[in-house]
C-alpha cells in the first residue's frame, strides 16, 4: 500500500481520535437518558401507588365513620325522649338514615372496584350482609318503631356489627398487606357488585325485641 500523504495522516489521526470519543459520548448520553427515563417511570409508579393508597385509607375511614353514624342514629332512635309518632321527627331521622345507607352503597362500590382482583364469595356475602343489615334503621323509623337492639347478642344487631367488622378487616388487610395496588379485574368487580346487591341476602322479617333467640 502506498505511503499516506501528510494530509491523509492528519485526517486519519483526527478521525481516529474523534470517532471513539463521539461514540463514547453518544453511548454515555444514551445511558443517562435511559436512567432518567427509568427514574421518571419509577417516580410515576410510586406516585400512583401513593394516590391509590390514600384512596384506600379514605375507604377505611369511611367505613369507620359510617359505623359511628349508625350507632349515633341507633341511640337517637331508641332514646326515650325521641317521639317517633311525630312526623317531623321521623322525617328528620329518615333523611339521616337514608344518607347513611347511601354511604354504605358507595362503600360497596369502592370495595368492589378498588380492592378486588378476583371474585371472593366470602367478601360478597359480607358486603351483602352489610347492605341488608343497615336497612332496618330506615324501615323501623318509617314504621314509627324503635330498633329492636335490646341486647348485644340480638341477631340483627350482631349481623350489623359483624358485617362492618368483616369489611373493615378486609380493607385493613388489603392496605397493610402489600405495597402495590391490586391489579384491576373488571369482571370480578362487576360480579361482586351484582352479588352484594342481590336480594338473596335479604332476611324475611326482623327479630322483634320480644322474639326468642339464642
pLDDT in tens, the chain (214 residues): 455 565 555 545 555 555 455 555 566 666 766 666 777 777 677 676 666 677 778 888 999 999 999 999 999 999 999 999 999 999 999 999 999 999 999 999 988 888 877 788 888 888 999 999 999 999 999 999 999 988 888 899 888 988 898 888 888 888 876 545 445 454 665 566 557 767 777 776 666 656 554 4
Distance of CA 133 to the CA centre of its chain: 20
Q: Say how far apart CA 122 and CA 127 lie, in whole Å.
A: 9
Q: Say how far apart CA 53 and CA 179 lie, in whole Å.
A: 8
Q: pTM of the full predicted structure? A: 0.66
Amino acid at each position: 500500500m502506498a505511503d499516506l500523504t501528510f494530509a491523509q495522516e492528519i485526517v486519519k489521526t483526527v478521525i481516529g481520535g474523534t470517532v471513539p470519543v463521539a461514540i463514547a459520548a453518544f453511548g454515555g448520553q444514551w445511558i443517562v437518558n435511559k436512567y432518567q427515563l427509568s427514574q421518571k417511570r419509577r417516580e410515576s409508579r410510586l406516585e400512583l401507588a401513593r394516590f391509590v393508597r390514600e384512596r384506600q385509607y379514605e375507604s377505611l375511614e369511611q367505613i369507620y365513620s359510617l359505623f359511628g353514624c349508625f350507632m349515633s342514629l341507633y341511640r337517637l332512635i331508641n332514646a326515650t325522649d325521641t317521639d317517633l309518632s311525630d312526623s317531623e321527627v321521623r322525617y328528620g331521622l329518615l333523611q339521616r338514615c337514608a344518607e347513611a345507607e347511601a354511604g354504605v352503597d358507595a362503600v360497596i362500590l369502592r370495595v368492589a372496584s378498588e380492592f378486588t382482583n378476583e371474585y371472593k364469595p366470602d367478601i360478597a356475602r359480607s358486603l351483602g350482609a352489610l347492605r341488608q343489615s343497615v336497612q332496618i334503621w330506615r324501615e323501623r323509623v318509617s314504621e314509627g318503631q324503635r330498633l329492636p337492639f335490646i341486647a348485644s347478642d340480638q341477631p340483627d344487631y350482631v349481623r350489623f356489627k359483624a358485617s362492618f367488622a368483616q369489611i373493615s378487616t378486609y380493607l385493613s388487610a388489603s392496605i397493610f398487606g402489600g405495597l402495590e395496588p391490586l391489579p384491576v379485574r373488571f369482571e370480578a368487580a362487576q360480579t361482586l357488585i351484582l352479588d352484594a346487591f342481590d336480594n338473596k341476602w335479604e332476611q324475611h322479617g326482623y327479630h322483634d325485641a320480644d322474639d326468642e333467640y339464642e
